[in-house]
Structure 1
Amino acid sequence: MSTPLMKQYNEIKKDYMEYILFFRLGDFYEMFFEDAEIASRVLGLTLTARNKEKGMNIPLAGIPYHSSKPYIAKLVNAGYKVAICEQTENPKDAKGIVKREVVQIVTSGTMQDVDYLDSKSNNYLACIYYSNQNYAMSYLDITTGEFKVLECDEDNLISEIYKIEPKEILLTQSLKEKFGSIIDKLDINISIVTKVNDAEKFLKDYFNIVSLDSYGIFGKKAMIDACACILDYVLAMQFNNELTIRKIEVINKSKFVEISSSTLRNLEIVKNQRDKTTYGSLLWVLDKCKSSTGSRKLKQLLQSPLLELDEINKRYDDIEYLCKEIIKREEIRNLLDNVYDIERLLGKVIFSNENGKDINALKNTIYSSFKIRDLWPEKFKNIDFNILQEIHTKIDNILLEDAPFSVREGNMIKSGVNSELDELRNIMNNGTGILLEIESREREKTGIKNLKIKYNNIFGYFIEVSKSNMNMVPETYIRKQTLSNAERYITEEIKSYEDKIINSKAKITELEYIIFKNLSSYIKEFKNVFIELSNTLAYIDILISFAITALENNYVRPNFNEEYFEIKDARHPVVEKLIGDNTFISNNVYFDDKNRFIILTGPNMSGKSTYMKQIALISIMAQIGSFVPASSANLNMVDKILTRIGASDDILSGQSTFMVEMSEVASIINSATTNSLIILDEVGRGTSTYDGLAIASSISKYIVENINAKSIFATHYHELTELENEYETIKNYRIEVEEKNGKVNFLRTIVKGGADRSYGIEVAKLAGLPKTIIRESTKLLKSFEVEKKNGQISLFDNFEYENYDKIEKLEETIDNLNEKLDKLRNVDINNMTPINALNLLMQIKEEI
């Protein structure tokens, strides 16, 4: 038979079947049934049973409520949603079962506790909506208040998702059926939502505005629905508590360089392809930010380079200034050490998750911002420092510098802030002294010399008067007890102080909490000022990061023009940092009206991909406002960076390597403009040789004839180099190779002209393939080169060549001699004794 408690649990649980229900019981959150089994497995909790003696055997697992946060975070990170059910009345006041209700829902996209989030990445919740033939995607980070929306076509939707990396996506049922399988494979949690009725009115009411014109979404139904849907969901998860959101920001894609998900991945802009961390990415090279906010903003910049030349040049000017002003730069950078994550601290305040250390962090950040402003005042023109000064003073006057993490333990508020608090502290700390003062005062007032104030557990504090002095007792004394030789009394004053002494600790804690929360409420009023300050400090942090990176790596300021695109001594920013020692081989690139399409040939491992990637990365760096790794860079503004690099099956859609390759190339062809930069690596190799050659040739011709974009096409199809004779704008380049003493050395230098061979067998040698395979490969290559003139090549014909066995033996002898020559070249004759030299000669003679 179900108990009243379990009836209450079941009644609440039925509305939250898809959630792990944290059910508050005293000092614990308890989970029952399947929730308990999941919690036991994921959290490593001991699974017990409830009502076992009644034969019910209900699975049970519990955690202390005061240490619940890491457990909630672990469940959410494992893909579960958690509903927090609290006791909503004091058990002492309850008539029957204590009232309980769900007060918060935590999902991967609505998690508030920043201690369990990556400080250098946003924690986005996204929503995709389709309306009036348009797709819109809204996304927000409730910990920072960022709320953005954009329109995009179906082809770019997955790229946008890949770019922002949301932890959770909201979809209607129909969109889940269409995109659900792809999004699942991106390891993003999906939640089903329905349309918000009168979405426009809902948004206007929430933001307290009369029109959506000010946000730029008026009349854009898909955007309005996407924004309303995500906001409605978050408010439901937070039970309509206040959010950090200030406004809706429309992403105007025409202001930013378009970078597809494949380009982000291929160029390893914000994470590498091996373990998906930032190590070895462009972000890893550029991010020397002191603040988490700076790192997050830099990541956003890298994914959306600018198309606004004036803003780019402003950043260049700032970087030049910081490079020259060494002392000032280092002073600002040191001050940034004491700049905390304003966005997320403010989020904690708004969600009432803040503690004393958080508020002091805001105070210290304000102090540092004053110092930074004094060093670089023109960057703070939009900041209201009068308000910030008031906030700093208020926090400093109220809050102790070493305020604890817990806001329910007291020891946060300074003396002199509140007279009642000071009195309570005085009573708690000096209770005995106060009672002695009362005792002395009562003796003097009554004339009873032996009057004493005493205490016991039954009556508390009381005045004891001997029988001989009964006639001197004032009428205001209240008799409490008669003894054989004395009477015991209380007074209103003693009773008042007794109450204060006994309850002073609890009252102090509660009063401090009220004062602290009033301070937090005051800070909330100025969230817009804090966000403006946060953005300014993050921008300065990024500029200093760019300046330091430029100085450390010898970067230069780019220039932009419309006539030509030229980078001299271009270097790959990541590769040169990884190899170090200034050993990276730099190269040039040049485009103009008569040089638009580069066909790049050369062996594998020779540096073709690195060369192409560095051109794209330099364009990205230049258009986020960074200096670049080169001796000079005169660039055109690039509107899109489109790449097809590498060969792999698409695990998201189940497509083969060749289908993925053709799909990506089709997307490039269909979206590229004259101002785009196209990077193609070995397109066509996923099919037969002649099919691939035909496709590669046709793609090249189409780009030249119809798009005329700046393009680099790396290929092993040497036949493509013949296109240079057909098109004025096509130019052949190759990786320089040096052949010496039977060995191949890749010089990694780009020179004019096409390569006449791929050196694949030489690469195989370097990779350490057995000599028998190398010899067989050489044999087949010779046969292919002969047969190529006569028809289709076959791997299975028995080729007979006159004296082939002699040739094979001769090649073995040559290999053997080359090994001996290498050994001789490495001998240090200056430090060799005559005996050692003679022994070496004998050894070589025997081996030959």
Structure 2
Amino acid sequence: MPEDPVESLIRNIDNKLAARDLVPSRRQYLELKRKYPHAILLYRMGDFYEAFDDDARVVARDARVTLTSRTFGRSGRVPMAGVPHHALNYYLSRLLNAGHTVAIAEQMSEPGKGLVEREVTRVLTPGTVVESALLPAGENRYLAAVYDVGARIGIAWVDVSTGEFRLMELRGEDASERLQEELARISPAECLIPEGFPYELVLSQSHATTVRRQNCDPQVAYQLLCKHFGVRSLDAFGCHDAKASLGAAGAIYTYIEQTNPSLLCMLTSIRMECAEDMVGMDPATRRNLELTRSFGTGGSRGSLLGVVDQTSTPMGSRAMRRLINTPLRDLQEIRRRQDIIEPLVQMPQVRARIANQLVQIGDLERAVSRCTQSGSTLRDFLSLSSALGHVDSLVRILSGTHQQALANLASSIDTCEDILSRLQMAVAEADDGSPVILPGFMPELGDALEELRSAREWLARLEQKERERTGIRSLKVGYNKVFGYYIEVTRPNLHLVPREYVRKQTISTGERFVTEALKEVESRITRAEDAIERLQNEAIALLRSLVSANTRRLLATAQLLAEMDALVALAEVASRCGWVRPLVDDSDVIEIRNGRHPVVESSLEGERFVPNDCYIGGNWPRVLLITGPNMGGKSTYLRQVALIVLLAQIGSFVPAESARIGLVDRIFTRVGAHDDLARGASTFMVEMVETATILNGATERSLVVLDEIGRGTSTYDGMAIAQAVLEDIHDRVRARTLFATHYLELTTVAKKLPSAQNVHVSVAEERDHIVFLYSVRPGAADRAYGIHVARLAGLPPWVAGRAENILHALSAGTEGESTRDKEDEGANSLVSKVDINNASCHLAKHLFEPGERYTCSENPLPVKISAVKTLEGSMLAYQGVLEGFEPSRSELEGVAEDILDTDLACLSPVEALQKIEEWQQRLRGMRSDL
């Protein structure tokens, strides 16, 4: 059995500690490292935090700093990497994002008096960060855990900065697949997995940390949580018969207790979620629909979140992200949200007033979190007091609308007036903007502050008084940390020094003195400052206890306000963009009239978006087969339907003239092409895995969006797979499906399927040009317009022209003599039965009549196709004739026309030369015809 790497590391450290020639600082480092073998130890040395040995190599690599080395006397030279103390958070974020645990050892004693004492004061892991500087304001940072009991898999996740703590139990044969779906939804920063649990189920979603299985014992976890929440049973939290998820919750509780126990006070409640209450979406669907992250920008800009996130607070932004990631199947909750949004859409002034109050409240969730931590400051409590001061005003605004849904929401918000009153009695903002403890909260502190103020006023008067008394105009009263307060007199005035002055220090410009009165005042100041520091710490501890005791109430209020913020933002978007309230019911109908893509429309900057209808399910066809050219709008249409359904099921208004959405249980998409080479999966393999997931997981209540199935392999194979998938979805799965394809031959298949219908995105032709109309019409497309799109993409005109000639020849099915075969003595005409996968043939294959199949050679030379008779069954076989590059007269005419159309008067000499060079290149390709 291989040795545990942690045990090996500890043994290695023990061997080093046994060495007699270790210098004290090296021994101190190794002793601290032994206590935290799992973590990178950042060891404070002056103005830097240093890492040594293997930790230094990791820090240099992942924090992107220079790897150096240091000699510790006879201990030898060891690798070292350091980061400046003032930029610690910047480098910490890099290490945490890379998945590392970091222990920070601070200096606990003053340098210069022997070996500096050091202690680890913080242990940070990717999932237990609460420092504001290390947290993304608009995102939750979850710590998750998984645990399996038999056929069950439990998930638990917590955001220690907001107190959100949730569980889920997955059962059945597809539990592993659903686990990956849920982890993709939660997107944890760190995931705890017990020993022996399959790593591959979580590695793609987060950083995995292995924990001992005894830390996941469900019975122990049950007792821990009951004790923590002060209850005798967890049944009230919905945790009855949830052994797997309780085991995961126990792993989280134990992990937090070991790394940062002060965070446990944020765990005020636990909530059981049910996967059946939410719309299922696998990781590919979330990625393809660009719900929270755009392919183009890599962030939220360009995603659905980027459009709807008009929130006023970071906690509202986090709530919006949760809404988008968790569409519902609960009609009652969906309609409750709609009932809140609708009056807000109709009352823009009320909406603006609510948003203004939310801005003043800010991030109440994390403000509560900061106030419960050991490092909390008076500023944190002042901020919390200020935020709570605006809650009552917001509640009054909601109540004053006389709208039942808003009034119900207002009545559920606890304004926490008693907590606010105590905070306002304790802390306030001074004239200079600094937070201060009010005298009434702690009378002793007030007395100490008054004593300090009195002593400093005496000092302020002392300098002028002594100048007048002694006649020394340059006399100064000063202070330093070593000698304390003093009176300084320059050398020329030393003869004027009074007898009661006691010399304390000689300096280059004169002497420094003290008096009995000055020493007495210094003692008063020292006593007052010590008392103030002690009493302020006591006051902060009292305030921390106040907030910690009421964390559940404060977080409940914060969560309602965060949801309020998200719903106000949805109302703002609906009002600004002309969205409507959809009818969401329990039918299996999707009826969208003049629907629009929310993201594309928002990016048009005033240009008109062409809307389209979608009618599937119920008495309508259940499958729409969509054909048409690239760039024509097929992918936009597919995604806009899926996004409209998703928006409806989070309770939002939707971008359409009207919409009726029958609840969907899952949304599946298979869009685009990408590979996963690290896992040995080609583009086509990824495509097939995603397609298999859809066919195995979709039900009659699902929405399936498929774009270009089968394009990752040869056309013959791809067409067969696409037809088989289409037939299976139609005959067995029966899901409401949008199926886009370039295989025009499938349109004849769709005609034979009773619950399928052909539609196409239309174009208008003007001579040799096409205009995309972006309109979805009934019927099948007759052409793919691939060469036209290639021209728009910037394909050189002579290449596009040559492609058109090949296309015309292939379409006509004619055969001619190959000029290139004549030039190449060894070349002969070749006929073979092969798949259609030649690139030039791929451009042409859509131009043939629907229902036919064409094949060509993989030879890189151009191919001419001729059909042969139909074989048994639905598939056909053809012959591909390899022929030479034979330019037609039309290409020569194209060059001539280009020359005649060029206005030489408008060209510079350089541009004229470039034109001539272009014409020569085109003509050289036709040399055989000249």
Q: TM-score, normalised by structure 1?
A: 0.82
- The one-letter code of the counterpart of 2:793 is A
1:765 to 791, 798, 813: 791
Query: What's the CA shift for 1:20?
Result: 2.1
1:816–1:760 Cα change, 3 Å: farther
Q: Relative contact order: is structure 1 or structure 2 higher (C-alpha 8 Å, sep ≥ 6)?
A: 1
In structure 1, runs of 5+ residues without a counterpart are 437-456, 462-489, 828-848
Which residues of 2 match residues 202-281 of structure 1 at below 5 A? 202-208=221-227, 209-239=231-261, 242-281=264-303
In structure 2, the residue matched to 1:382 is: 412
Deviations along 1:562-612, one digit per CA (max 9) or x if unpaired, are 274211111111011112223211111112334111111101111100011
1:458–1:542 Cα change, 3 Å: closer
CA distance in 1, matches of 2:637, 2:693: 23
Deviations along 1:224-246, one digit per CA (max 9) or x if unpaired, are 22111122112111156634112
In structure 2, the residue matched to 1:604 is: 630
Query: What's the CA shift for 1:122?
Result: 0.9
In structure 2, the residue matched to 1:81 is: 101
- The one-letter code of the counterpart of 1:530 is L
Aligned: 1:810 with 2:903: no
Query: What's the CA shift for 1:710?
Result: 1.1
CA distance in 1, matches of 2:774, 2:445: 75
CA distance in 2, matches of 1:109, 1:402: 37
1:205–1:755 Cα change, 3 Å: same
CA distance in 1, matches of 2:855, 2:666: 41
- The one-letter code of the counterpart of 1:315 is R
2:391 to 363, 366, 369: 369
Query: What's the CA shift for 1:298?
Result: 0.8
Kindly indicate whether the alpha-carbon contact (under 8 Å) linking 2:624 and 2:738 is maintained by their aligned counterparts in 1.
yes
CA distance in 2, matches of 1:435, 1:686: 84
In structure 1, the residue matched to 2:124 is: 106
Which residues of 2 match residues 638-677 of structure 1 at below 5 A? 638-651=664-677, 653-677=679-703
- The one-letter code of the counterpart of 2:246 is I
- The one-letter code of the counterpart of 1:565 is I
1:34–1:178 Cα change, 3 Å: closer
1:664–1:816 Cα change, 3 Å: farther
Aligned: 1:304 with 2:337: no
CA distance in 2, matches of 1:614, 1:30: 52
Aligned: 1:428 with 2:447: no
CA distance in 2, matches of 1:381, 1:261: 38
1:123 to 138, 141, 144: 141
In structure 2, the residue matched to 1:10 is: 30
- The one-letter code of the counterpart of 1:399 is V
Query: What's the CA shift for 1:384?
Result: 3.4
Identity of aligned residues (%): 32
Q: Which moved more, 1:813-822 or 1:37-46?
A: 813-822
1:306–1:815 Cα change, 3 Å: farther
CA distance in 1, matches of 2:418, 2:797: 79
Query: What's the CA shift for 1:642?
Result: 0.8
In structure 1, the residue matched to 2:362 is: 340
Kindly indicate whether the alpha-carbon contact (under 8 Å) linking 2:787 and 2:800 is maintained by their aligned counterparts in 1.
yes
Alignment: residue pair count: 760
Query: What's the CA shift for 1:248?
Result: 2.6
- The one-letter code of the counterpart of 2:428 is L
1:324–1:98 Cα change, 3 Å: same
Aligned Cα root-mean-square deviation (Å): 3.6
In structure 2, the residue matched to 1:842 is: none
In structure 1, the residue matched to 2:429 is: 401
Aligned: 1:700 with 2:726: yes
- The one-letter code of the counterpart of 2:164 is E
Aligned: 1:565 with 2:595: no
CA distance in 2, matches of 1:242, 1:791: 67
CA distance in 1, matches of 2:518, 2:787: 101
In structure 2, the residue matched to 1:193 is: 211
In structure 1, the residue matched to 2:644 is: 618
1:586 to 603, 606, 611: 611
CA distance in 1, matches of 2:782, 2:692: 29
Kindly indicate whether the alpha-carbon contact (under 8 Å) linking 2:700 and 2:734 is maintained by their aligned counterparts in 1.
yes
- The one-letter code of the counterpart of 1:202 is A
Which residues of 2 match residues 128-527 of structure 1 at below 5 A? 128-152=146-170, 153-175=175-197, 177-179=199-201, 182-183=203-204, 188-196=206-214, 198-208=217-227, 209-239=231-261, 242-377=264-399, 378=407, 379-385=409-415, 388-401=416-429, 412-431=436-455, 499-527=523-551
In structure 2, the residue matched to 1:472 is: none
1:211–1:572 Cα change, 3 Å: same
Kindly indicate whether the alpha-carbon contact (under 8 Å) linking 2:146 and 2:245 is maintained by their aligned counterparts in 1.
no
Kindly indicate whether the alpha-carbon contact (under 8 Å) linking 1:606 and 1:735 is maintained by their aligned counterparts in 2.
yes
Which residues of 2 match residues 514-553 of structure 1 at below 5 A? 514-553=538-577
CA distance in 2, matches of 1:638, 1:652: 34
Kindly indicate whether the alpha-carbon contact (under 8 Å) linking 2:296 and 2:302 is maintained by their aligned counterparts in 1.
no
CA distance in 1, matches of 2:330, 2:483: 81
In structure 2, runs of 5+ residues without a counterpart are 1-20, 400-406, 461-481, 487-514, 814-847, 867-883, 907-930
Deviations along 1:170-207, one digit per CA (max 9) or x if unpaired, are 22343355447x53xx5x42221111354323333234
Q: Does the residue aligned with 1:673 lie in a helix, a strand or coil?
A: coil
Kindly indicate whether the alpha-carbon contact (under 8 Å) linking 2:854 and 2:865 is maintained by their aligned counterparts in 1.
no
Kindly indicate whether the alpha-carbon contact (under 8 Å) linking 1:200 and 1:228 is maintained by their aligned counterparts in 2.
no
Kindly indicate whether the alpha-carbon contact (under 8 Å) linking 2:256 and 2:264 is maintained by their aligned counterparts in 1.
no
- The one-letter code of the counterpart of 2:444 is E
Query: What's the CA shift for 1:403?
Result: 9.9
- The one-letter code of the counterpart of 1:734 is H
Q: Does the residue aligned with 1:758 lie in a helix, a strand or coil?
A: coil
- The one-letter code of the counterpart of 2:535 is L
Kindly indicate whether the alpha-carbon contact (under 8 Å) linking 1:784 and 1:793 is maintained by their aligned counterparts in 2.
no
Query: What's the CA shift for 1:100?
Result: 5.6
Q: Does the residue aligned with 1:375 lie in a helix, a strand or coil?
A: helix
- The one-letter code of the counterpart of 2:893 is T
In structure 2, the residue matched to 1:453 is: none
Q: Does the residue aligned with 1:589 lie in a helix, a strand or coil?
A: strand
1:790–1:30 Cα change, 3 Å: closer
Deviations along 1:247-302, one digit per CA (max 9) or x if unpaired, are 33222111111111111111111111134200110000000000111111111111
Kindly indicate whether the alpha-carbon contact (under 8 Å) linking 1:599 and 1:712 is maintained by their aligned counterparts in 2.
yes
Kindly indicate whether the alpha-carbon contact (under 8 Å) linking 1:340 and 1:362 is maintained by their aligned counterparts in 2.
no
In structure 2, the residue matched to 1:840 is: none
Q: Which moved more, 1:395-404 or 1:652-661?
A: 395-404
Kindly indicate whether the alpha-carbon contact (under 8 Å) linking 2:23 and 2:75 is maintained by their aligned counterparts in 1.
no
In structure 1, the residue matched to 2:602 is: 577
Q: TM-score, normalised by structure 2?
A: 0.75
1:297–1:25 Cα change, 3 Å: same
CA distance in 2, matches of 1:744, 1:608: 16
- The one-letter code of the counterpart of 1:676 is S
1:798–1:77 Cα change, 3 Å: closer
CA distance in 2, matches of 1:782, 1:63: 67
Q: Does the residue aligned with 2:807 lie in a helix, a strand or coil?
A: helix
CA distance in 1, matches of 2:853, 2:81: 78
CA distance in 2, matches of 1:625, 1:359: 35
